[in-house]
Amino acid sequence: MSTEHRFLAVYLGSMTGPKMAAWQALPEVERKAKEQEGLAAWHGWVEKHKAAIVELGGPLGKTRKIDAGGVTEISNALTGFTVVRAASQEAAAELFKNHPHFAIFPGESVEVMPVLPIPGR
């Protein structure tokens, strides 16, 4: 019997990187067609992996960094997230091979990491 674990998948991309520049350079009609293709593929990915999805997550907006100095608006490469369950990190990573985030849309990658138990609980 395998134990399933939770994994956080974060979608990464750059608003100023070459993939986004190429995406923005597409004629609007072609870009809109690729958006529709990407959305359909993303919905297909969700349907295919719905048993493994714990939290669908979603796109991420502007970031605020909070530290001892206060609150600052910052920029980073985080564009979205999903939480999945799988027997291993390798199995979780397999779920995201050829994901529409980077296979169709101008996203750059997906990173998958285990959600660890809180110590002492």
CATH code for the domain of 19: 3.30.70.1060
In a domain, 120, yes or no: no
Give the number of C-alpha atoms closer than 13 A to the C-alpha of residue 98, restricted to the C-beta side: 3
In a domain, 119, yes or no: no
Work out how many domains the chain is built from and give that number. 1
In a domain, 81, yes or no: yes
- Identify the pLDDT of residue 2: 58
**Nearest alpha carbon to residue 85 among 1, 27, 12, 2:** 2
Q: Are 31 and 23 in contact (CB under 8 A)?
A: yes
Q: How confident is the model at residue 1 (pLDDT cuts 50, 70, 90)?
A: very low
In a domain, 121, yes or no: no
Prediction pTM value: 0.91
In a domain, 98, yes or no: yes
Residue range 53-93, pLDDT digits in tens: 999 999 999 999 999 999 999 999 999 999 999 999 999 99
Dihedrals phi, psi of 41, to nearest 5 degrees: -65, -40
Residue range 88-103, pLDDT digits in tens: 999 999 999 999 999 9
Residue pointed to by tokens 């959600």: 115
Q: Which structural domain range is residue 10 located in?
A: 5-114
Neighbouring C-beta atoms of residue 14, cutoff 10 Å: 16
Q: Mean pLDDT score of the chain, rounded to an integer?
A: 95
